[in-house]
Each structure stands twice: as C-alpha cells, then as structure tokens.
A and B are shown apart, each in its own frame.
Chain A
C-alpha cells in the first residue's frame, strides 16, 4: 500500500504508462527502471496496486512512470483490467492521460501479447514497444527481428531482458526520443481488410469505448486482429524447430497429475508448517534470551521508578515477545515466495479449482486466500484479480479466516507451553500437527462460510476461470528475499508502532491504580485492566477464559499479536519475584498449578482462529468493498463464530475430560 507520491511533479512534467499482459515481466522492468523495490510475482493478476516512480532519462531529464495492472485486452472484465482502460481514457481521478505508453511483450509468447498491442495502436497514443525475455526466447530457438517488427508495427521496438537489465540504455533512448518528438501511432484499424463486409460495424468499435456485446462482432474483430498478428509475426520472426522440448515438462505433469498432484501439494504445505516450527526454534531461542537479559539489565541498570518499570516490564517484554516471531514469519514468507516465483501456485490453483467451485469460489481465489495466510491485507487486495463481484466479495469475507502471521505468535506461545514436544510416529512433531490443525480449522470454517454466503446472500452470477499457466521456472533468490524483507519490515513496523503503543497502554492499565496497602490478591486484579477483565469474566467463563485472558483478548482487538504482549506484561507485573521468566515458562508453571488448563489453551487458540482482531483488515475491507455493511458484517460474523466455536471446544472438552 506504499504510495509513492509524485514529488517529482515540477521537474518531471511528462508521464509514461507501462502496459502489458500479466506475467510479461512488466513489474520487473518497472523495478529495474525506477530502482524501487516492489513485489514481483509469477502469477497472472498479482499486480494490483498503482505504482508510480520516477525515471531518470539521458541528458538529465526525467519522467513519471506508472505501472498499470497486467491485462490481455482493453475490454477486460476484472477490476484490474478495467483500471487500465480507465487510466488510458484519462478517467481515473488524480491521473491525467499519459504522454507515452511503454508497452511490454513477452518474446516467448509474442502472438498473444501482440493482441493488446494491436488494440493500443488503435488508441492513437505514442507507443514504445519493449520486447522482454529475449534470453528465454533465444533458449527456445525464437528469433525476433526488431527492425522488421518495428517497420511492420510502425513503432519503435527495443529488445530487452528485464531480469538482467540488458537493453535498458536503448530503451531509455527510445523513450527520450518518443517524449521529445511524439508520434501518435497511426495504423488505426490496420488489421481490417478493406473489403470486409463488417467493416463499417467494426470501425464503430473504439478500443477505449464501450465493449461490444454482439458475439458476431466480438469474434470477427478477434479473428481479424489475430490474422493480422499472425501475418506480422510470420514476417518478423523465425523459430527453429523445438519438437524435442515437450509442451508440458515431465515435472509439470507430475505436479498436476491426478494421482500425485494433491499428495505432493499436501506434502509441500505440510513441510512448510513443520519448517516454521523446527527451523525457527534456534533463532527464536536466541532472540527470546536476548530480550530476557535486556529486560533484566534494564531493571538493574536504571534507577528504580515508574520509567524503569515502563521500560523493563512494559516495553521490552511487550515488543520483544513479538519480535521473537520474526524467524517464523521469515520462513513462511520465504516458502510462499518460492512457490509463487516458481509458478507452482498456479498449479495449486489448477488442482484446487474443482474443490473451490464446490464451495462457490474459483481456483483464482486460491492466491488471495493463500496470501492471507501471511496477512489478510495483501490477500484482500489481491482479490481485485477476481472478475465477478460475488466471487470477490465471498473471497474477501473469508480471507481473514486464513490464519495469518499475526496469529502465529498466539499459536506458537500456547503450543510451546501446552503441547508436549513429542514426535508422532517417530518423526512428525505433535506441536507441528496442532499448528497445522489450527490452520486447517480456519480453512474448513472459510469453506462453510463461503458456501453459506454464496447460497444465501450473494446472487448467482455467471463466473468464469480462464487463466494462463506461467511456465515452471527456477525462482530467483533475490526476488524471494525481497518479499521476505518487505513482510518482515512491515511486521516490525507494526511491532514498533501499534504494538509499542498497546504495550504502553496495557502496562498503564495493568499497573494503576496501585493496590491499597494490605491487599492480598494479585496486584493486577486491582488495576484498571483487572477491573475490566473481571467485568467481562462472566461472558467468557463458558469459553474457559478467566479475567487475565479477558484483558489479553480485549487489548488484542486492534492487532492479534498484542495478546502475547499483554499476557507477558500481566504476568511480569503479577510476579512477586523480580526474576523475568519467559512467557512460555510462566504459562507452563500456571498449567502445573492448575491456573491455566490445556483445554483453555485449545479453546483460546480456536477463538483466535475465527475472531476478527485486526484494524488493518477491517480498514482494507471497507476500502475494497466500499461498504460499511460488509465490513461490520465481517467483524460481527467472525466474532460470533469465534465465541460459538470456543464455547463448543471448551464445553465438549470438559464433558469428555470428566
């Protein structure tokens, strides 16, 4: 959601629009040209945000450049694709018409990519055409004669490879020239045969005008454009025979096979969850040890007083207990980034489409939902690639049910404290299984909610699933690591702002008013927080929660991970001795003394699976649905679901344990 504001306005009066198919390397080119850092994906439709940067040109001048969402045509049906058309029409608020279009095409997929170019040419905009992925084309035995193509299309054509930044100087030169002496593309309707019987009707169709709904016109225009493209491609490229390279590689065939596809997919996701617990253990222990000693050092080094108490008992354990989860979040994002950049996620969407359709969604909803495992905010944003409104709304409504990385700290602490680290069958950790169980519970809940939504609330609309499978390829480490860095950075930014603020507030509420002299109980119970927790205790008692958990839940409504912070603050302050033990140890001691049962921990985890405790999610939901009804509906149904599910777990569990 970073919005690069146009601070270069005065110096850079000209603006450039970057247009191309999904997956043509447009975003990589954008990053390379502007030097800014953005996410690059290997999946059609991930680029949904408006990205603007500044491009420095030779001779010291510069231009603004906007990365438009990937689209196959100017009559696109998804939100993303419509943005492109509106932008080029100059209809988007705050965006004037661009001075130049830099169109990007994938050299290995020239014919399909040129369809959009043939429409762009009709708009009359000046265009510079960048043919990307020349290295891949060369490997595939495709030769493109840029000179000839330039003459056939009557446009400047520059071959480039965005991933290795080759061809950039020529591209910058072509851009500069086109900005200085703009030549509007003039081949309008060059693809229509003079004598075509439908010529009049077709000429009435403007590429930026309303889309035709006459099937005859649509198919005729499409066929004519493709016939023209084929003739251009035949004249300007050559392809050495590559019959020995199979269309679908054996690995691809295995990953999407009916027999092995699903087991492999489950294996991959299972491995990720195991990795989150096993590999992250060591770095987490190091961080948590450091936080403990820092807190102890602060207590001893600073003069005793309110400020020391705030720092040593409020801020350090509060923020520290959240930072501990950086290794796990980094591993999760590394895995998702790896799968995304390698093209595997599209295979997963293929395998899951049937199932997704059963609950009323489509395979395409899989990416937003998977992103929501990291964070519901990018997940909800990426639903823009779903063309039908009802599918999109249903996906937005269930996205926060996917267990996001902010829940991980909650699960992690509770699992580490209450689930024994035994190995099931000798090699599968029970802790990892419980974690996987929580994630699955969210998924099952999401399926039920989606199904109910589509059945009861959302009218039946025609919806379709047509997408391009990106080729499987070796992921680029740099791109994955950039994704990891981005998410860890935003997590830490959260930890140092919202969570810092919450820890100070919680510390204050838990520390004041000080109990009167001679007070026997836990000093926290007498504080404001304790009073608040005690007040709501009757409502949460049937879920197995006491007033301490009540405070933690209330304080974590703005952001879930605050739960961990609050608990550690409460327990730190409540401790009579000055020894700062880790939160996990404290919880284990409470478990042994019967203050915090394993069943309560399970009920609490289930509560966190379903509850909507995230201000950012609600904010982005309001923005994307543009409706308070859906936003409040999301908050309401999730809170209700959390209460009912927790209630069921605790009550049924109590009955069984009796």
Chain B
C-alpha cells in the first residue's frame, strides 16, 4: 500500500483475515461484482465505517461483523473484497 502521509497507518488487509474481536475501519471495497457491491454499500459497508468481527463459522466462514448497531453475516469470499485497517 503506498502511503505518503506522515501519520503511521497500519497495514491494510482483507476483512476475511481479521480475527474475532478485532476492530477495524473499512478503507475500500475492491474488485467486487456490481450486484454484490450495491448490496454491501446499501447495508453500510462503505469506506470509513467501523466494524468489529464478532463470530466466525467453521473454517472461518461465514464471518459475522458488528456494524451500525447490528450484526451482519457474510462469507469469507465476500469479506475478501473488503479492505480494512485494523484499529
């Protein structure tokens, strides 16, 4: 990730690799089919939103995240499109 700002920004990673209990801020949604993108955006998954990973299923999927006062459930394949910065 190129970053020219002075403040140290933690490395970005995919939401799918964030461990349970970790808080993170969404920075971007990448290479995502338009239909899924519309869905994610409408549910509040936009750059700048804060999420906390609350639960994960077997083999890490589905992944539940707390966002805007409620819990969303998505598959790790979908969470892989979402870039976050751990807080």
Chain A min CB distance to B49 (Å): 7
Knowing A73-B42, A466-B74, say if A215 contacts B36 (CB, 8 Å).
no
Q: Note all chain B residues with C-beta closer than 8 A to A213.
A: 34
Q: CB < 8 Å: which of B35, B41, B54 contacts A219?
A: B41
- Known interface pairs A111-B68, A112-B69. Does A465 touch B41 (Cβ–Cβ under 8 Å)? no
Q: A109-B68, A354-B58 are in contact. Are A222 and B34 (CB under 8 A)?
A: no
- In the complex, which residues 316-354 of chain A have their Cβ closer than 8 Å to any Cβ of chain B? 346, 349-351, 353-354
A469 CA to B65 CA, complexed, in Å: 10
Assuming the contacts A112-B70, A462-B33, A465-B78, asked whether A222 and B41 have C-beta atoms less than 8 A apart, the reply is: yes
Residue pair B35, A109 in contact (C-beta under 8 Å)? no
Report if A582 contacts B (CB, 8 A): no
Contacts of B66 in A (CB 8 A): 247-248
CB of A451 closer than 8 Å to a CB of B: no
Known A248-B54, A248-B66, A353-B75: A466·B59 in contact at CB below 8 Å: no
B78 touching A112, Cβ below 8 Å: no
Q: Would you call B44 and A226 a contact (CB within 8 A)? A: yes
Interface size grouping (class) on chain B: 35 or more
Specify which chain B residues have a CB less than 8 angstroms from the CB of A109 in the assembled complex. Answer: 68-70
Contacts of A508 in B (CB 8 A): none
Closest Cβ neighbor of A262 among chain B residues: B58
CA gap between A353 and B59 in the complex, in Å: 11
Known contacts A247-B54, A353-B75; decide if A108 and B69 are in contact (CB<8 Å).
yes
Say yes or no: is A253 at the interface (Cβ < 8 Å to chain B). Answer: yes
B46 touches A223 (CB 8 A): yes
Distance, CA A469 to CA B49, complexed state (A): 18
* A354 & B39 in contact (Cβ 8 Å cutoff): no
Is B39 a contact of A464 with CB atoms below 8 Å? yes
- Check if B41 sits within 8 Å of A467, measured CB to CB: no
Q: Which residues of B contact A115 (CB under 8 A)?
A: 42, 44
B52 at the interface (CB under 8 A from A): yes
Q: Pick the contact of A464 from B36, B44, B59, B71 — CB < 8 Å? A: B36
Chain A 193-231, CB within 8 Å of chain B: the 1/0 string? 000000000000000000111110011011100110000
Chain A, range 227-259, C-beta contacts under 8 Å to B: 227, 247-248, 253, 256, 258
Closest CB in chain A relative to B25 CB, distance in Å: 13
Per-residue CB contact flags for chain B residues 30-53 toward chain A (1 = under 8 Å, else 0) read 001111111111111011110010
Residue of B43, B54, B62, B74 with most chain A CB atoms under a 10 A cut-off? B62
A10 at the binding interface (Cβ < 8 Å):
no
Contacts of A466 in B (CB 8 A): 36, 39-40, 43, 72-74, 78
Nearest residue, chain B, Cβ from A471: B70
The docked-state distance in angstroms from the alpha carbon of A484 to that of B58 is 34
* Complex Cα gap A258–B62 (Å): 11
B8, chain A: closest CB distance, angstroms: 24
Asked if B73 and A465 make an inter-chain contact with CB atoms under 8 angstroms apart, the answer reads yes
User: Which of A110, A112, A258 neighbours the largest number of chain B CB atoms within 10 Å of its CB?
Assistant: A112
Q: How far is the CB of A341 from chain B (nearest CB, A)?
A: 17
Interface string of A543-577 (1 = CB under 8 A from B): 00000000000000000000000000000000000
Known contacts A219-B37, A222-B42: does B55 contact A353 (CB below 8 Å)?
no
Taking a contact as CB atoms under 8 Å apart, the answer to whether A469 and B41 are in contact is no
Q: Does A159 contact B (CB under 8 A)?
A: no
User: Once bound together, how far apart are the Cα atoms of A498 and B56, in whole Å?
Assistant: 48
Q: Give Cα A115–Cα B74 distance, bound, in whole angstroms.
A: 20
Cβ of A626 under 8 Å from chain B: no
* CB–CB A247/B42 < 8 A: no
Task: A466 to B36: give the CA distance in the assembly, Å.
Answer: 9
A37 within 8 Å of B (CB atoms): no
Asked whether any CB of chain B lies closer than 8 Å to the CB of A516, the reply is no
Closest to B66 in A: A247
Set of chain B residues within 8 Å of A226, measured between Cβ atoms:
44, 46, 48-49
**Chain B, range 61-87, C-beta contacts under 8 Å to A:** 61-62, 64, 66, 68-75, 78
- B79 nearest CB across to chain A (Å): 9
Across the interface, name the chain B residue whose C-beta is closest to A247.
B66
Binding site for B on A (CB under 8 A): 72-73, 75-77, 108-112, 115-116, 211-215, 218-219, 221-223, 226-227, 247-248, 253, 256, 258, 346, 349-351, 353-354, 357, 363, 387, 462, 464-469, 471
Q: A219-B47, A353-B61 are in contact. List 7 more A-B contacts (CB 8 A).
A: A75-B38, A247-B66, A256-B55, A350-B62, A350-B73, A354-B59, A464-B74
Sample of 6 A–B contacts (CB below 8 Å): A72-B43, A219-B37, A226-B48, A350-B62, A464-B36, A467-B72
